[in-house]
Amino acid sequence: MSFPKGFLWGTSISAEQVEGGWNEGGKSPVQIDYAAAGDASHMRKVWFLNADGTRGSMPAFGKLPEGAKYQLFDDIHYTNHDAADFYHHWKEDLALFAEMGFTTFNTSLAWSRIYPYGVQGGVNKEGVEFYRNVFTEARRLGMDPVITLYKYDEPVWFEETYGGWENRAMIDEFVEFAKVCFREYKGLITKWMTFNEINILLMFRQMGNSNLPMQNIYEQIHNQIIASARSVKAAHEIDPDLKVGCMIAGICSYPLTPDPEDVMANYVNFQENFCYCADAMVRGAYPSFAKRMWDQDSVTLEVTDEDKKDMLEGKADFLGFSYYSSSCITTHDAEKGSGNVFSGAKNPYLKASDWGWTIDPTGYKYMLHTLNDRYQVPLFDVENGLGAYDKVEEDGSIHDDYRIAYLKAHIEKLKEAVNEGVNIFGYTTWGGLDLVSASTGQMDKRYGMIYVDMNDKGEGTFERKRKDSFFWYKKVCESNGEVIE
């Protein structure tokens, strides 16, 4: 059993979760710059000032109440402001990536560094040069980066100017941003992804973890799907060799019981939370069950003939996805699963992380086959990993055998799937450099093979340390997955 020659190995990070430098280099603020950290059982919250001068908070991705304004408060520590300080440590971090034998890495571009105030405000050259330096150095070190254009970080300026993604004006803004990136980094970046986990709002709608009306959620997603399709078309015009993929949060769920109602409910979960977006982006049209979803959520979505044409002509070249955990679906009363992000019933066969995320390598293989069978395009695993508390020993070592065990079990299943014919060209672990958690805003929830000395309270030096998993993953990458022990 082996991986194909040229299979890409590396890790994935994201602009808002690693960079810091939140108000440096001409960058404008994004919503998450106003978010405080939560903890293992509390999601992070975004804080603002109400029109009447009182303080308010809401879930990330939420909408400000009428008249409210984002505002920083002295008694809150904002973990994203410095994050892992990649903005100032990127050379050192890339050298560590190369030391591990990476042939790729994934990160996102902060739109707020490239177009801080939209097209009318002009391109911020400093932002463009920052990423050019990062990509040039990555290439020099032998890595072929796969870059995501948008990951949860719409500049606040867009929200204030257009009201956000439910406004179709955002489509043109995004496509211009995408075109600048495709042109500026031509030759440096050959593989792109448009939107990270574009289905996340659909997942939140099911969990009730959003203050957005249904109509708004579907409009936002639709406009992003159209922006993505038009960007794919633009990329192919700028350089026919560019490959542009989509990225969907992976869903693996099981019916809790053999009751046919549970089996049906489980399938519907997959249709609604994964296939709705993936079908639109990979097959180029909304699936037949989309109408059922719009009706059940009392949504009227305007899909123009031009939209339909764009979706068909701007199909994604590959399907990127994340996978962490699986869940169980049931129509019966059952004990709830403990994950802060994944909903569903408790699976008695699986252990879970300290954040309640089940650990399920077989579910990973199940999902790889499901996606391969349904979509028939190359797959790319952008995110997979274990968030855990790490302990630094007195001698500075970090023995994260739990993380090695998680990654090893998943890479073994990946290898089996590849040998059974699954068409996948790369695997990047999530957060190889410790970073700010997206759901809780914590630094202490660590995914990295590289430790970053910074905690939830803002205490630390940003010094980097190699964990045990660093040395283990180095062997995996350098042997093209032959050595997993």
Report the catalytic residues.
197, 383
Give the residue with the Cβ less far from ligand BG6, 79 or 372: 79
Q: Whose Cβ is closer to ligand BG6: residue 221's or residue 341's?
A: 341
Q: Which is nearer to ligand BG6, 276 or 286 (CB)?
A: 276
H helix intervals, 191-289? 200-207, 214-238, 260-270, 276-278
Residue 346 or 445: the one with the smaller Cβ distance to ligand BG6 is 445
> With respect to ligand BG6, which residue has the nearer C-beta, 90 or 357?
357
Measured from the CB of residue 411, what is the shortest distance to ligand BG6 in angstroms? 18
For the CB of residue 452, give the shortest distance to ligand BG6 in the complex, in Å. 14
Least separation in angstroms between residue 313's CB and ligand BG6 is 28
Q: Nearest-CA neighbor of 221 among 325, 101, 149, 303?
A: 303
Residue 301 Rama label (left phi>0; alpha psi -120 to 50; beta): beta
Interacting residues of 275 by C-beta distance below 8 A, sequence separation 6+: 287, 289, 374
Strand pairing of 106-108 and 146-150?
parallel
Q: % helix / strand / coil in the chain, to the nearest 5?
A: 40, 15, 45
Using the 8-state DSSP alphabet, how is residue 345 labeled?
B
What are the tokens at 139? 């290439």
Query: What is the C-alpha to C-alpha distance for residues 201 and 255, in angstroms, rounded to an integer?
Result: 23
C-alpha 322/C-alpha 384 separation (Å) is: 6
Least gap, CB of 357 to ligand BG6 (angstroms):
8
User: In whole angstroms, how close is the CB of 435 to ligand BG6 at the nearest point?
Assistant: 7
We find the least distance from the C-beta atom of residue 342 to ligand BG6, in angstroms, to be: 10
Residues 6+ apart with CB under 8 A from 480: 2, 3, 5, 7, 9
Taking the CA of residue 385 as centre, how many other CA atoms within 13 Å lie in the half-sphere pointing to its CB?
26
Query: Considering the complex, what minimum distance in angstroms separates the CB of residue 14 from ligand BG6?
Result: 6
Residue 209 CB neighbour total at 10 angstroms: 19
Would you call 20 exposed, middle or buried from its count of C-beta atoms within 10 A (0-12, 13-18, 19+)? Answer: buried
Minimal distance in Å, beta carbon 16 to ligand BG6? 8
Site for ligand BG6, rule CB under 6 A: 14, 17, 196-197, 249, 322, 341, 383, 387, 430, 437-440, 445
What is the bridge-based pairing of β-strands 69-70 and 45-49?
antiparallel
Tell me if 404 sits within 8 A of 476, measured CB to CB.
no
3-state secondary structure of 54: coil
Strands 45-49 and 55-59: antiparallel
Q: Which of 459, 415, 451 is nearest to 432 (CA)?
A: 451
Which residue number has the CB closest to ligand BG6?
439
Q: Which of 185, 50, 44, 45 is nearest to 114 (CA)?
A: 185
CA–CA gap between residue 127 and residue 22 (Å, rounded): 12
Residue linked to tokens 């069950």: 289
Q: Least distance in Å: CB of 44 to ligand BG6?
A: 9
Q: Which residue has the tokens 């046919």?
A: 260
Sign of the alpha-carbon torsion through 267, 372, 326, 273: negative
**Which residue, chain included where needed, has tokens 């350089």?**
239
Closest to ligand BG6 by CB, 307 or 383: 383
Which residue, 144 or 383, has its beta carbon nearer to ligand BG6? 383
Q: How far apart are CA 434 and CA 407, in angstroms?
A: 16
